[in-house]
Each structure stands twice: as structure tokens, then as C-alpha cells.
Amino acid sequence: MRQGYAQGYLRKSVVSQPFSARINTKDNTPPVIHAEIVPGDQLKIAVMPKGSGAENMSRLAMLKPSEGRQGIIDLVVRTVDEAGGNPCPPLIIGLGIGATSEKAMLLAKKALLRKVAQPNPDPEIAELEKEILLDLLGYIAGTF
């Protein structure tokens, strides 16, 4: 990673001591690495260079089961509203639902690796994605 940032054109934005001195590491180290062991004899590597500005717009929320599907939709719309113009476009939303807080955040990050505008292969999740998108488009149209 260090070599890639030194030779590439990616912005170096990771700092050590973020709460005080804010010293830029100049190479975005240390990297965050996730590994997943799966059956078979192949290796797949996915790289997601994601700026901290995008990470700053992340949100973790724990909803009550009674809030249901509409609670999820409302949370996403509210999160986009509160983010305002801070995230760099295009705004791509990864959503992780269920499990522990750590697993939900990882699921959300993995969702960002899908092709843009490609619905989830699970029809129920694809329908939820469509509902969220329609609510977001309605919200955006109502702000002009």
C-alpha cells in the first residue's frame, strides 16, 4: 500500500494522532485488511481505496425490530439528509443489516464492491433497495 500511494495519484489523507497533532502519514498507512476464508483453491483480492471523507459520512444505527422495513428506509433518507453536501459525489450507499455492529459495517462496506446500479441478487433485498432509492429520489425532488 505504501508503495502504491507513493507512486500513484491517490490523495494521502490518513493522519496519526487524529485528535491532536493530526500528523499526515503521507502514505495512508496502516491499511485496513479483511480476510475471508472460503472453500476452494482460488484467491480473490478486492481493493477499495476509500477516502476518509467518505468514511466520515458513515453511520451505524441499531434499530428496534418493531421499526421494521420502514425504519430502515427512514434511517437511510435521514442519513443522506444530514450528510448534506459533505460526501464527494457520486453518492453510493452500502447498507449492512443485521448481525453484530462490526459485521453490519463490514456488510455495508462489501455492498460497495458491487457494480453500480446492479440490484442485489436476492429479490427481497433488491426490492428494499428499490424502495430506498424511490424514497431518496422523492426526498431530493422535494428539496428543490
User: Which tops the pLDDT comparison, 5 or 103?
Assistant: 103
Could you tell me the pTM of the whole model? 0.81
Confidence of residue 52 (pLDDT cuts 50, 70, 90): low
What average pLDDT score do residues 50-71 get? 87
Site of grid cell 462490526: 102
Question: What one-letter code names the amino acid at 54?
Answer: A
What average pLDDT score do residues 128-143 get? 89
- Residue 41 DSSP label: S
What pLDDT sits at residue 144?
55
Please determine, for residue 61, whether its predicted confidence score (pLDDT) is greater than 70. Answer: yes
Distance (Å, whole) CA 89 – CA 20: 29
User: Which tops the pLDDT comparison, 83 or 89?
Assistant: 83
- Residue 20 DSSP label: T
What pLDDT sits at residue 142?
75
